[in-house]
Amino acid sequence: MGVMKCIAFNRRGTLLAAGCFDGSCVIWDFETRGIAKELRDRDCTAAITSVCWSKYGHQILVSAADKSLTLWDVVNGEKITRIVLQQTPLQARFHPGSSTPSVCLACPLSSAPMIVDLSTGGSTALPVNVSDMGNGVAPPFRNKIPDGTSYTLTAACFNKNGDLVYVGNSKGEILIIDHKNVKVLAIVPISGGAMIKNIVFSRNGQYLLTNSNDRVIRIYENILPLKDGIRALDDLNKTIRMEDTLEKLKAVGSKCLALFREFQDSITKIHWKAPCFSGDGEWVIAASSIKGEHKMYTWDRAGYLVKILEGPKEAMFDLVWHPVHPIIVSVSLTGLVYIWAKDYTENWSAFAPDFKELEENEEYVEGEDKFDLVPETEKVKESDINEDDEVDIVTVEEDPLSDSDMSQEELRFLPATPCPDDPQQQDKCVGSSSKLVDSNHSGSSLSEENGQNGQAAHDASSPLEEDTAGGNQSKRKRKLSEKGLELQAEKVRKP
């Protein structure tokens, strides 16, 4: 298993995928903390830059430093397709609206974000600037990528429904794009005009997070409807009448996103990396980008700094929040994965309501009526519950944290596949164990001397080396114990 670099949970948080430096992708069972499957492509030996689960967890999209996108079937562990781009994709995300997505959003290095067709391999570059466009429509770059010299690192993400793409550029603007028609529908300028490094939607789609180069994390409230966002934007474009196209797009953008909160460290003024929401969208967490620090800052949505989590003195690669539970997972520079959970305090009164916790020793004074029989003064109240009613144990309540279609089978766990042992190694292990048992129970001077001095046995006493050096030598027979000799003698006496 390689050194891990980036991680991602499935929708339920039962499986954790980790991309490694050697090009492999390891899937962990988060319940048992064991490796469930390892995906390895012989054509890819470069470091993995991002991993992404499909909506129902049956597929995984992996981007690598060798400019490749690889689509995997999780259950079978088979590679579905592999696409090589012209630039290294730093991030790749599935279309969230489809159970079996055929397109993805890739953010290459020094190039514009693009929509990649996973079935054909074609790509369509998205606009990152509309200052020189008269009608808001970007010239499409299909099946090719424009020159990367005019672009810098650009962040982008789908909205919850997947019909819109939100792109953050180096001018501090958020472009809301209809990716099917490659058309900019609105622009939201950010105060300060600093380059946007990260852009993330909350799981419920109601809030948008941006991480800018001015060391400020901003939270925006999504005013657009979760569905039919394109229709709502078209209606806004019709109602707002302006001659200047750029100003009109900004006016439409003011009706799409509203600034909700800003987070920053006003003292140290540090840069942030890997910001994300909690599963319910009530918390925001981000990691410090200072080298040699493993610090995570947690805020509530009201803007208050709640907790600072500090780990070992090593930088952090990636950070994710568990989709359901209050658990945080981080990846360090050394490739170790750290799991952060809430420190629960024991409350024994939950089991016994009359239990009283003591902070220090107290002298117990027994009351005079401690063991007096108290006659029953009140009758037992009759329960209002009708015990004859049938209990419904079939109906499943809808999970408020998931919008998955219940008719679609979702992959939550991977079946364990036992690996058969090598017969030759198994024979050697059996011979080794028997030899150790014999030497431990023998009364030879060598065994006693080794036991007293704490030294290892002679090299010739190792069965593995005997097999290697002696070739096809016969194995030493084990002597029967006294009980075994008696049983064997009785068996011979019987006619």
> Band of the pLDDT at 73, cuts 50, 70, 90?
very high
Which fold would CATH assign to domain 96-264?
Lipocalin (2.40.128)
β 316-321/305-310 pair status: unpaired
The CA–CA distances, whole Å, from 282 to 106, 165, 299 equal 28, 23, 9
Q: Output the pTM of the full model.
A: 0.74
- Residue 300 β-bridge partners: 283
7-11, 108-112, 141-145, 315-319: least confident range = 141-145
Q: Looking at residue 399, what is its pLDDT?
A: 60
- Dump pLDDT digits (tens) for 431-472: 333 332 333 333 333 333 333 333 333 333 333 333 434 444
Q: What percent of the chain has pLDDT over 70?
A: 75
Q: Looking at residue 375, what is its pLDDT?
A: 59
> Band of the pLDDT at 371, cuts 50, 70, 90?
confident
The CA–CA distances, whole Å, from 42 to 39, 88, 200, 259, 270 equal 10, 18, 32, 47, 40
Q: What percent of the chain has pLDDT over 90?
A: 58
> Band of the pLDDT at 57, cuts 50, 70, 90?
very high
> What is the dihedral angle through the alpha carbons of 136, 139, 145, 146, rounded to the nearest 10 degrees?
-80
Domain positions in the chain: 96-264
> Band of the pLDDT at 141, cuts 50, 70, 90?
very low
Q: Cβ distance 277 to 321 under 8 Å?
A: yes
- Dump pLDDT digits (tens) for 398-437: 665 555 545 468 888 898 666 566 555 444 443 333 332 3
Q: Looking at residue 100, what is its pLDDT?
A: 83
- Dump pLDDT digits (tens) for 243-266: 889 999 999 999 999 999 999 998
74-78, 118-122, 150-154, 409-413: least confident range = 150-154
Q: Looking at residue 351, what is its pLDDT?
A: 79
Higher-pLDDT residue of 215, 495: 215
Which amino acid belongs to residue 450?
N
Q: Looking at residue 283, what is its pLDDT?
A: 96
Q: Looking at residue 458, what is its pLDDT?
A: 38
Q: Looking at residue 439, what is its pLDDT?
A: 34
60-69, 360-369, 399-408: least confident range = 399-408
Q: Cβ distance 62 to 70 under 8 Å?
A: yes
Q: Looking at residue 336, what is its pLDDT?
A: 93
Q: Cβ distance 19 to 5 under 8 Å?
A: yes
- Dump pLDDT digits (tens) for 143-167: 333 333 344 568 999 999 999 999 9
